[in-house]
Amino acid sequence: MTSGMRIGVVTFPGSLDDRDAARAVRIAGGEAVALWHADADLHGVDGVVLPGGFSYGDYLRCGAIARFAPVMTPLIDAAKGGLPILGICNGFQVLCESHLLPGALVRNDHLHFICRDQKLRIESNSTAWTSDFEVGQEIVIPLKNGEGGYVADDKTLDQLEGDGRVIARYLDINPNGSRRDIAGITNERGNVVGLMPHPEHAVEALTGPTTDGLGFFTSVLTSLVNR
Amino acid sequence: MARVVVDVLLKPEILDPQGKAVEGALGRLGLAGVSSVRQGKTFTIDVDGDLDDARLAQLHELAGSLLSNPVIEDYSIREVTA
C-alpha cells in the first residue's frame, strides 16, 4: 500500500546511504524521489531525507560544504516553512552546519570510528518523524560514525531538554561522547529532525538488527496524511 | 598579490580529543611539561591585487561561515607578506 506521499532523498557527492534511505521510504509506503545536490528546486516533494555518508569527503568539516550545495537553498526555505526534513548521520551534520538545528557534531571522544547496533530511547513523539513511536520506547538501530559527538553550550542543551526537543537518547553506552547522551534533536516546530544513528538500516529483518527504524519513515507519512 | 592566513581553533570549552592524543604523544616522546595541545586548521589564501576593505570584510564573513563553524570554532585572520 502506498500513501501517495513523495519523500525526496538528496544525493551529495560522497553520500552513502541514499539508496537505503529511499528503500526505507518505499518499505514504509511512500514514494522515494531522488534529489540531486545540484538541483535548484525540491521537485514538489512532501518531505526530504538527508542521508548518511561522507559528503564532499568530509573535507573542511563534516557537512560544511554540502551545506552550501544548490539544493540546500530551497531546502532551507522549505524547512523554515514546515516541510518535514530528516537528517541522518552526515545529514544531521549538514542540518547543524545549516543552522536549521542548534549545536554541532564533533569527533568521537575516543577518536575511533564506531559501528554497532545501538539501543536508544525515544524521548519525544511530537515530531513529524517520531509520531509513530511511544515516548520511552526502546529501539535498536545501527550506529556508525567517526564524528558523532553532539555538542552545544549548556544554555542550548537546557533549552532543548526544557522544550522536549531531545528526540532520542543513547542507552547502555554513550558511543561517541555526545553531551547528555543525545542521539537526536528537533527544531522548535518539530518538522526538522537530526539523528546520528541509522534507522534506514533497520527496516528489514534480513539486513537489519531489528525493523525498529521503520517507525521514522512511517511517522512522516502519518504526519503528512493527518496534516 | 596579497596573502591572508586564516587560523581556526576549537573554542576552549569544546573537547579536542585529537589535541589530547597529540598531547599524550608529545609526553611519551620526552617533551616535559606539556599542559595542553589544541589542534586547529590553517588556510593560506592568495588573492590577486590589493586587499581592500570590501574584500577583507568578505573574507571575514566567509571565515565565519564556511571556513569555521561559529558554534564550535573561533577564527582569526592575518595578512602576511607572500
Return the CATH number at B24: 3.30.1280.10
The CA distance from A74 to A71, in Å, is 6
pLDDT of B37 > 80? The answer is yes
The CA distance from A36 to A15, in Å, is 11
- The tally of domains found in chain B comes to 1
- The answer to whether the beta carbons of residues A212 and A23 sit under 8 Å apart is no
Q: Do B71 and A104 touch (CB under 8 A)?
A: yes
Reduced 3-state DSSP string for A11-67: ECCCECCHHHHHHHHHHHCCEEEEEECCCCCCCCCCEEEECCECHHHHCCCCCCCHH
pLDDT of residue A1: 53
Q: What is the pTM of this model?
A: 0.94
CATH of domain A6-225: 3.40.50.880
ipTM beyond cut 0.90: no
Which of A56, A58, A60 is the best mutation test for B, with the most CBs of B within 10 A?
A60
Q: What is the mean pLDDT of residues B40-67?
A: 95
The CA distance from B62 to A1, in Å, is 48
Residues of chain A with pLDDT under 50: none
Which of A101, A107, A157 is the best mutation test for B, with the most CBs of B within 10 A?
A107
Task: Write out the residue range of the structural domain in which residue B60 sits.
Answer: 2-80
Nearest to A145 by CA among A216, A197, A208: A197
Q: Do A64 and B13 touch (CB under 8 A)?
A: no
Share of chain A above pLDDT 90, in %: 96
Nearest to A217 by CA among A165, A151, A141, A147: A141
Q: pLDDT digit string (tens) for A37-75?
A: 999 999 999 999 999 999 999 999 999 999 999 999 999
Q: And the C-alpha cell for A227?
A: 496534516
pLDDT of B22 > 80? The answer is yes
Residue type at B61 in one-letter notation: E
Nearest to A46 by CA among A13, A2, A106: A2
Chain B residues close to A153, C-beta within 8 Å: 13
pLDDT of residue A224: 86
- Domains of chain A, by residue range, sit at 6-225
- DSSP H or E run through A92: helix A90-97
